[in-house]
Chains A and B, each alone.
Chain A
Amino acid sequence: MSNTFHGGIHPRYSKEFTKEIPIREVIPGETVTILMQQHIGAPCKPIVKVGDSVLVGQKIGDSEAFVSSPVHSTVSGVVKKIAQVLQPNGSKGEAVVIANDGEYRRLLMETKPLSELTKEEILHLIREAGIVGLGGAGFPTHIKLNPPADKKIDYILINGAECEPYLTSDHRIMLEEPKALINGLEVILTLFPNAQGIIGIEDNKPDAIEMISKAIAGKDRMSVCVMETKYPQGAEKQLIYSATKRKVPSGKLPADIGCIVDNVDTTVAIGKAVLEGIPLLRRIITMSGEMFDQPANYSVPLGVSYRQLIEMSGGHPEEAVKIIHGGPMMGLAMFDYDVPVMKTSSCILLLSEKEAAICQESACIRCGRCTRVCPMNLLPLELDRFARNDDEERFLRYHGLDCIECGSCSYVCPAKRHLVHAIRVKKRALMAKKRA
C-alpha cells in the first residue's frame, strides 16, 4: 500500500458499534442553545433580542471580524434568553437560547444555478451559511477556500479517512449521501478551475470506496484515493502526503503547496449552501462506546443538548469513566454533558473503565517507540523532557512546534507517559509568548 505516510499507529478501531447503523434525524426539544463561538476566530455577537421571532436558518449571530463565521437558528420560535452557558470545552461562552415552536418555518438564502454564480458569490454564500471545518478544527471555510491569488491550487482533497477510532459519521455520509458529497466537491472545483478533486478514504471502508467511486464515474476531475488504514491518516499533512506525496513545509499551510483539504461533512454542507441556499444547521454525530445501549449516528440540529442525545441513545454517563467530545485520540474529556451541540462536535463517547486507559506514569525507559510512531518524525520523549524542564531552546531545536498533537506517542508509550500532553502545554505557552 503506497498511499500512506511514515509512522502512525494501529489502535483498536471499535467502529463496529456504529458503522452499520444508518443516520437518524434528531428532533430538537423545547429549546435549542446556539453558541456564539463554534469556530476558530472571533466569536459572534447576537443580532437578535430576547422576544424576537426567528425562523429556521435565520442568522442570529455574526461578527465583523475577518476570521469568523455566523451562526443560525435551527428551529423556528422565539428568543428566550441570551446567556453565558457551558461549552463542550469546559469554559463558558455566550449563547442564544431559542424556544422551539415546533413548526420549523424556514428561511433559505437566495441562490442561483452554479453556472451563473461568480466566485465571490459562491464564497459569500459559504460565509453566510456559517460553514466551518466540521472535522474538528472549525476554521471558517470561506477563508480557506479563498487563498491569496499567488497560490496555485492543484488539488482539492476531501478527507474521508476518518482515522479516529469509534467515529463513523463520515463513513455513513459517504454511504448514504454520495451525491451530496459530489455536489459539494463540484462547487469547490468551480472555485479552482485548475484543480483535481481527490476523495481520500481508508481501506477499512470498502463499501464507501465503492459507493463514491460509482458516484464520480464519468467525472474526470474527481478521483478516489484509497489509503492505508492507519492513525492519523486523516491529519491534514499526512493526508496530503498520502494522496499527493507533497509535504507541507513547517509553519506553512496546505495552500502553499497547492492543496486544500476539506472534511466530508463540510463538503456536503458547502453543496447544500450554494446549490440549495441551506445554511449549516445540522451535523452528523456518532454516539459510541460501551456505555451506550444503542450506539448511533445522528443528524443533529446545532444547539441540541448532549444530554438529550445521550438519553436518546440509552447512555449511562454516570457509569462511564470518561465522557468525550470527539474521538478517543484527540477528543476532549467533559465533566458535564449539559452542553449544546456545536459545529465541531463529531462524536460523543461514553467510555467504560475497560475502554478508557487511566494510567500511572512511570520513568521513560528510552525504548524509542514514540519516535517510531511519530508521524511528524519528532522525538516525543525528548520533547517531553524539555517541556517539563522548561528547556525552551532545546524544545524548539527539536522541532517541538511541529507537533500535530495526534497522541500516537502517548498511545504506544509503555511507561504510560503523558507525552503529547506535556508537549501540547509547552507548545501553547510558546505560541502565546510568540504572540505577546
Chain B
Amino acid sequence: MLNIVSSSPHVRDNASTRNIMRDVIIALVPATLWGFYVFGLNAIINVALAVSSAVLFEYLYQKLLKKPITINDLSAAVTGLLLGLNLPSGHYYFIPVLGSFVAIVVVKQLYGGLGQNFMNPALAARAFLLVSFAGYMTTWPNPAQTGRFWSIDGVSGATPLALLKTGKMLEAGVLSLGNEAGGIWLSDAFFGFVGGCIGEVSALALILGGAYLIYRKIITWQIPVAFFASFTIMMLVFGQNPWDLTYLAFHLTSGGFLLGAFFMATDYSTSPMTGKGQIIMGIGCGLLTALIRLFGGYPEGVSFAILIMNLFVPLIDHYLVPTSFGGKRNE
C-alpha cells in the first residue's frame, strides 16, 4: 500500500457536522414531543412536512445544480425542524412546505449553502410566512380550551403574550382572560398548557434542551445569558408592570423567547464568532425583543429581533478581531 503524505495534523477528533446537528435534534426532542402531545395530529403533520420538505428541497437543489448532496449532515433536517416548531398547528399544509422552500432554497442555498447564509433560515422563513399569512400565522389552537387530543379543528385562543399586550392585568400569578371564567396560570406557561407555536409552549422542555446544548458544548453561554439579562432588565424597568416578577416570568416563559435564545440566536452561521461579539448579539436581541413586545405592533418580537441582529453579525465580527496572544491591538 502506498503511504498517504498529507499535511499535519495526522490525527483528528471525532466531532462531525452530523454529530453536532444530531445533538441539536436531540435537544429539540422534549419540545417537539410536548408540541405533539398538546397540539395533536396537526402538530405532527406540520413538523413532519417541514422536516421532510426541507430535506427534499436541499436534495433537489443540489441535484439540479450538480453539487455534492449533503443532506446526510442533517443541517436541512434541523432547519426544517426549527421551522416546524415555529409554526402554529393549523391545517394549511402548504405552509410548512412553502416555509421550507424559503428557508432552504432562498435563504440558505442561494447564498452559498451551509455556513454562508446571513439570516437564520428558519426564522427568515417564519417572518416571510408571518407577513404573507398574518392571520393564519397568529391563530393558535389553545390546548387549554380544545381538549387538545388529536383535534384537527383547533379553537383559537389568546396566548399569554397577546393578553399581556392588550394590558390585561395580572393577579396572583394568573393571567386573566377577561370576562371569561378562569385564566392562564404561570405554571401553565411554564409546563406548556398555553397557546402558541408548536415548539415554543413548554418552557420546561426548552430549558432542558438548552441545558443539553450547553452541556454538550454545542453552544456557548454568551448569547442565551446576554439575551436573558438584557431582556429581563428591559422588562423590569419598562414593562407595563415594572418590577413585577410574575409579569416578567410570563414574558420569559411565553412566546418564542426560550426557543429563540437557545436555538435560534445561537445559530452558528448567523451569530458572531467571538465571545464578546456573542454578548453584543445577545444584548441586542434582548433589547429588540423587549421593544417590539412593549411598543411594537406585534405581541411577539423574538423572531424579528434575532433577524435584525443577524444583519449586524458581519459588522460585529469585523470590529471584534481578537488580539493575538502576545500581539498588538489593531488600530
The verdict on B66 contacting chain A, using a C-beta distance below 8 Å, is: no
Residues on A with C-beta less than 8 A from B2 are: 335
Residue of B nearest to A382 (CB): B273
The CA of A247 and the CA of B3, in the complex, are separated in Å by 40
Does B132 sit at the interface, judged by CB under 8 A?
no
CA distance A375 to B2 in the complex (A): 34
Q: Are B325 and A407 in contact (CB under 8 A)?
A: no
The answer to whether A430 has its CB under 8 Å from any CB of chain B is no
The interface of chain B, by Cβ under 8 A from chain A, is 1-13, 15-17, 19-20, 70, 73, 75, 113-116, 220, 268-269, 273-274, 321-328, 330
| B31 CB → nearest A CB, Å | 22
Judging by beta carbons under 8 Å apart, are B326 and A237 in contact?
yes
How many Å lie between the Cα of A413 and that of B10 in the bound state? 13
Chain B residues in 8 Å Cβ range of A329: 8-11
A414 touching B11 in the complex, CB below 8 Å, given contacts A365-B115, A376-B325, A399-B324: no
Q: How far is the CB of B4 from chain A (nearest CB, A)?
A: 5
Chain A to chain B: the 3 pairs with minimum beta-carbon distance, closest first: A407-B9, A357-B12, A399-B324
> Is A259 engaged at the interface, CB distance under 8 Å to the other chain?
no
Q: Is A117 an interface residue (CB 8 A)?
A: no
Q: How far is the CA of A4 from the CA of B11 in the complex (A)?
A: 23
- Does residue A24 face the partner (Cβ distance < 8 Å to B)? no
Q: Which residues of B contact A248 (CB under 8 A)?
A: 326
**A369 interfacial by beta-carbon distance below 8 Å:** yes
> Are B7 and A333 closer than 8 Å at their CB atoms?
yes
A410 to B1, CA, bound (A): 26
CB-CB under 8 A from B113, the residues of chain A are 363
Query: Closest Cβ of chain B: how far from A395's Cβ, in Å?
Result: 12
Chain A residues in contact with chain B, CB under 8 A? 5-6, 9, 11-12, 90, 165, 237, 241, 247-250, 252, 317-324, 328-335, 349, 351, 355-359, 362-369, 371, 375-379, 381-382, 397-399, 402, 407, 410-416, 418, 420-421, 424
9 contacts between A and B (CB under 8 A): A317-B3, A319-B1, A320-B3, A324-B10, A329-B10, A333-B6, A377-B323, A415-B17, A416-B12
Task: Give the number of residue pairs across the A-B interface with Cβ within 8 Å.
Answer: 162
Q: Which of A319, A397, A412, A421 is within 8 Å of B15, CB to CB?
A: A412
CA distance A398 to B321 in the complex (A): 6
Q: A365-B268, A397-B330 known; A379 and B10 CB under 8 Å?
A: no
A368 touches B7 (CB 8 A): no
> What DSSP secondary structure best describes chain A's contact surface?
loop
A411 touches B11 (CB 8 A): yes
Given A332-B8, A378-B322, decide whether A11 and B13 contact each other with a Cβ distance below 8 A: yes
Q: Contact check, B5 vs A334: say whether CB atoms are below 8 A apart.
A: yes
Q: Which residue of A lies closest to B21 (CB)?
A: A365
Which listed residue (A358, A411, A414, A421) contacts B7, Cβ 8 A? Answer: A421
Supplied contacts A250-B328, A410-B12, 15 more A-B pairs, CB within 8 Å: A90-B5, A252-B326, A322-B3, A322-B5, A322-B10, A335-B5, A359-B12, A367-B268, A368-B273, A371-B322, A378-B324, A413-B12, A414-B17, A420-B8, A421-B7
A358 to B2, CA, bound (A): 14
Output the least CB separation between B144 and chain A (Å). Answer: 39
Name the residue of chain A whose CB is nearest to the CB of B220.
Answer: A368
CB closest chain-B residue, reference A376: B325
CB distance from A244 to the nearest CB of B (A): 13
Question: Which B residues touch A410, using CB under 8 A?
Answer: 9, 12
Beta-carbon contact of A355 and B5 below 8 Å:
no
Task: Assess whether A366 is in contact with B268, with CB atoms less than 8 Å apart.
Answer: yes
A322 to B269 CA separation, bound complex (whole angstroms): 35
Give every chain B residue within 8 A of A399 (Cβ-Cβ).
Answer: 321, 323-324, 327
Closest chain A residue, CB of each to CB of B11: A328
Look across to chain A and name the residue whose beta carbon is closest to the beta carbon of B330. A397
A362 contact from B8, B11, B70, B323, Cβ within 8 A: B70
Cα-based distance from A320 to B10 in the complex (angstroms): 13
- Which partner residue on chain B sits nearest A404 by CB separation? B325
Residues of chain A lying within 8 A (CB to CB) of residue B11: 11-12, 165, 328-329, 351, 355-357, 411
B residues in contact with A367, CB < 8 Å: 20, 268
Q: Are A424 and B75 in contact (CB under 8 A)?
A: no
Do the beta carbons of A351 and B10 come within 8 Å of each other? Answer: yes
Most chain B C-beta atoms within 10 Å of own C-beta, residue among A5, A331, A378 = A378
A413 to B17, CA, bound (A): 9
**Shortest beta-carbon distance, B88 to chain A, in Å?**
30
Which chain A residue shows the least CB distance to B113?
A: A363
CA distance A329 to B13 in the complex (A): 12
Q: Evaluate contact between A424 and B7: CB separation under 8 angstroms.
A: yes
Is A414's CB under 8 angstroms from B15's CB?
A: yes
What's the nearest-Cβ distance from chain B to residue A334, in Å?
7
B326–A250 touching, CB < 8 Å: yes
Question: B272's closest neighbor in chain A, by CB?
Answer: A368
Contact indicator A418/B20 (Cβ below 8 Å): no
Contact A371 B4 (CB under 8 A): no
Complex CA gap A253/B95 in Å reads: 62
Chain B nearest CB from A99 CB (Å) reads 30
The one of A6, A249, A321 in contact with B4, judged by C-beta atoms closer than 8 angstroms, is A321
B269–A365 contact, CB under 8 A? yes
Contact yes or no, B327 A250, CB < 8 A: yes
Q: Are A414 and B20 in contact (CB under 8 A)?
A: yes
Specify which of B11, B113, B115 lies most central, judged by the most chain A CB atoms within 10 Å of its CB.
Answer: B11
B324 and A402 contacting across the interface, CB-CB below 8 Å: yes
Interchain CB contact under 8 A, A323 and B3: yes
Chain A residues positioned under 8 Å from B268 (CB to CB):
365-368
In the bound complex, do residue A333 and residue B5 qualify as a contact, i.e. CB atoms below 8 Å apart?
A: yes
| Contacts known (A250-B327, A366-B115, A367-B20); A377 close to B10, Cβ less than 8 A | no
Is A402 within 8 A of B9, CB to CB?
Answer: no
- B329 nearest CB across to chain A (Å): 10
Across the interface, which residues of B come within 8 angstroms of A411, CB to CB? 9, 11-13
Q: Contact at A335–B3, with CB atoms within 8 Å?
A: yes
- On chain B, the residues within 8 Å of A420 by CB distance are 7-9
CB distance from B279 to the nearest CB of A (A): 14
B322 touching A321 by the CB < 8 A rule? no
CB-CB under 8 A for A379 and B7, given A368-B273, A413-B15:
no
Contact check, A363 vs B4: say whether CB atoms are below 8 A apart. Answer: no
Chain B neighbourhood of A375, CB < 8 A? 325
Specify which of A6, A320, A356 lies most central, judged by the most chain B CB atoms within 10 Å of its CB: A356
**Closest chain B residue to A326 by CB distance?**
B8
Return the chain B residue nearest A350 by Cβ.
Answer: B3
* Cβ contacts under 8 Å, A362 to chain B: 17, 70, 73, 114
Could you tell me the distance between the alpha carbons of A323 and B70 in the complex, rounded to whole angstroms? 32
A412 to B217, CA, bound (A): 12
Residues of A within 8 A of B327 (CB): 249-250, 377, 399, 402
**Chain A residues within an 8 Å CB radius of B273:** 366, 368, 371, 379, 381-382
**Cβ distance A415 to chain B, nearest Cβ, rounded Å:** 5
By a CB distance below 8 angstroms, the chain A residues around B73 are 362
CB distance from B319 to the nearest CB of A (A): 12
Q: Are the C-beta atoms of A331 and B323 separated by less than 8 Å? A: no
